[in-house]
Amino acid sequence: MPGLLPAALAAQGRYNVVYIMTDDHTAQMMSCYDNRFVSTPNLDRIAADGVKFVNSYVANSLSGPSRACMITGKHSHKNGFTNNEHGIFDGSQQTMPKLMRAAGYETALIGKWHLVSTPTGFDYFDIVPGQGDYYNPDFIKMDGSTVTEKGYVTNLITDKAIDWMANKRDKSKPFILFIHHKACHRPWLPEMKYIRAYEDQTFALPATLYDDYEGREAAAAQEMEIGNNQHMDIVYDNKMYRPGANTRLTDLYLSMLSRMDSKDRADYDYFYDSIANRFYAQNLTGKALTEFKYQRYMRDYAKVLKSLDDNVGRTLDYLRDAGLLDSTLVVYTSDQGFYMGEHGWFDKRFMYEESFATPLVMRLPNGLSARGDIKEMVQNIDYAPTFLDIAGAKIPDDIQGESLLPLLKGKHPADWRKSLYYHYYEYPAEHSVKRHYGVSTADGWKLIHFYQDINTWELYNLNEDPQELHNLYGQPGTEKVTKRLMKELVKLQKQYDDQDALKLNNQK
């Protein structure tokens, strides 16, 4: 529809899409979902003028794979990017940005890509290499050059996103802009203006901080415990550096800090050195060490999040001031959820609720009437078909997700899906989370199979055991529900054509 003014395009429902995705941001740390720990007023603004999905999940709880699911609308075994350690995304395949472009949209990507291959399907991109850096980060430009830019990564990504919307795009077309933040990924290096934020706050300990993993062999085998210095690095993750420190990740930590300007570095060292001096003088062990590390973790994560929230506010303010809010769908999500001490953990990967779930809120443009909480089960493979639906484009048959557009119009289709499929592959690898797949149902049951060098099944009744501490698999009285979930699992494996997993159901 070239030649139509933006207002006319919006009137036809061809809204712009601003898709904001963070890294490792979890619903426990977003006040519209959970107000125990932090306040995120700008993220909450998105939900307040639209919807909050309260049953939002990912297909594979890990950065690259999650991004590949999002951008293709397909599970990992179909898009080919199953794990970060061996993956290179095949950019020649069908992707949602390519289809949006074919439908007449201008497409742009700013920030963290993490799919190794050069992005395809974008009219414009400006990305960070790999995980990117917090301080004075490098950006890869479309001509292949790498440029180091001065500043804090969350501010820079937002500056670039606003600059693209204001000055770089073709304003005769609707657009879809992907703003992919590095925040709030490990090791949670704060913007200097917030380095002292949250220091007077003591965060409540999660009820499951000292989980003993009874009845859960894979949970017992992981390496992502806050209290274990081999898992959560006391220098890299907790910033307790002292001369002579030689933890596994000390060198990586120092290389990240070496990017700072000298004045900022002096201020950074002054702040964290004083905490480290007190810490090392105390010789903490056991629970005291775990709880010290938990408080440091929560505070640093919250600082990084504060800059993110500010920048989401800046993005919304730009859209408002530019007169774009009424014609733009604003989506906020993360590439997965995260553990904030639940089960004693940080990181993600498991199909347990904290990391299987991901925050998802949307500010809706004029004409989309849904408001408040949406309870239907949704998954990150649904974003691609949703945006294609909004663009008025045909959704190809091989896309596995469902368009959320009916839900955004306030409808509640009676035949909406009642279960979700999950498959995680990255093992052996950092954090030692075994490979697993499973099914989760709308009536609160979950069945998981851990496989490869392990062969265990887990069954949870989330209605009675929301913290997933009691594995009911094989318990008397659960035969019927186990059979029902097994049938549902096989149904989904066939529907999504996960042939490898189908064969593993009978692993001996």
Judged by the rule CB under 5 A, the positions of this chain that interact with Ca ion are 23-24, 63, 335
- Least distance (Å) between residue 447 CB and Ca ion: 25
Q: Which is nearer to Ca ion, 63 or 400 (CB)?
A: 63
SS3 letters for 268-308? HHHHHHHHHHHHHHHCCCHHHHHHHHHHHHHHHHHHHHHHH
Helix 153-163 crosses helix 286-321 at what angle (to 10 degrees)? Answer: 20
The residue sitting closest to Ca ion, measured at its beta carbon, is 63
Q: Which is nearer to Ca ion, 28 or 63 (CB)?
A: 63
Q: What is the distance between the alpha carbons of residues 171 and 262, in angstroms, rounded to a whole number?
A: 41
- Least distance (Å) between residue 24 CB and Ca ion: 4
Helix 262-282 crosses helix 286-321 at what angle (to 10 degrees)? Answer: 150
Q: Which is nearer to Ca ion, 169 or 431 (CB)?
A: 431
Q: Which is nearer to Ca ion, 63 or 471 (CB)?
A: 63
Q: What is the distance between the alpha carbons of residues 93 and 238, in angstroms, rounded to a whole number?
A: 40
- Least distance (Å) between residue 502 CB and Ca ion: 28
Contact 88, 82 (CB under 8 A): no
Q: What is the distance between the alpha carbons of residues 356 and 54, in angstroms, rounded to a whole number?
A: 13
Q: Which is nearer to Ca ion, 24 or 225 (CB)?
A: 24
- Least distance (Å) between residue 341 CB and Ca ion: 18
- Least distance (Å) between residue 23 CB and Ca ion: 4
C-alpha torsion 431→436→441→442, nearest 10:
30
Q: Which two tokens stand for residue 482?
A: 């186990």
- Least distance (Å) between residue 274 CB and Ca ion: 31
- Least distance (Å) between residue 22 CB and Ca ion: 8
Q: Which is nearer to Ca ion, 347 or 468 (CB)?
A: 347
Q: What is the distance between the alpha carbons of residues 66 and 401, in angstroms, rounded to a whole number?
A: 13
Q: Which is nearer to Ca ion, 302 or 364 (CB)?
A: 302
- Least distance (Å) between residue 72 CB and Ca ion: 17
Give the containing element (helix H, strand E) for 450.
Answer: strand 445-451
Residue 291: count other Cβ atoms within 10 Å of its Cβ: 18
- 3 state DSSP class of 253: helix
For 223-235, give the DSSP string. --BTT-TTTS-TT
Of 242, 253, 249, the residue nearest 276 (C-alpha): 242
- Least distance (Å) between residue 200 CB and Ca ion: 29
Q: Which is nearer to Ca ion, 24 or 389 (CB)?
A: 24
Q: What is the distance between the alpha carbons of residues 280 and 275, in angstroms, rounded to a whole number?
A: 9
Q: What is the distance between the alpha carbons of residues 355 and 83, in angstroms, rounded to a whole number?
A: 16
Q: Which is nearer to Ca ion, 351 or 364 (CB)?
A: 351
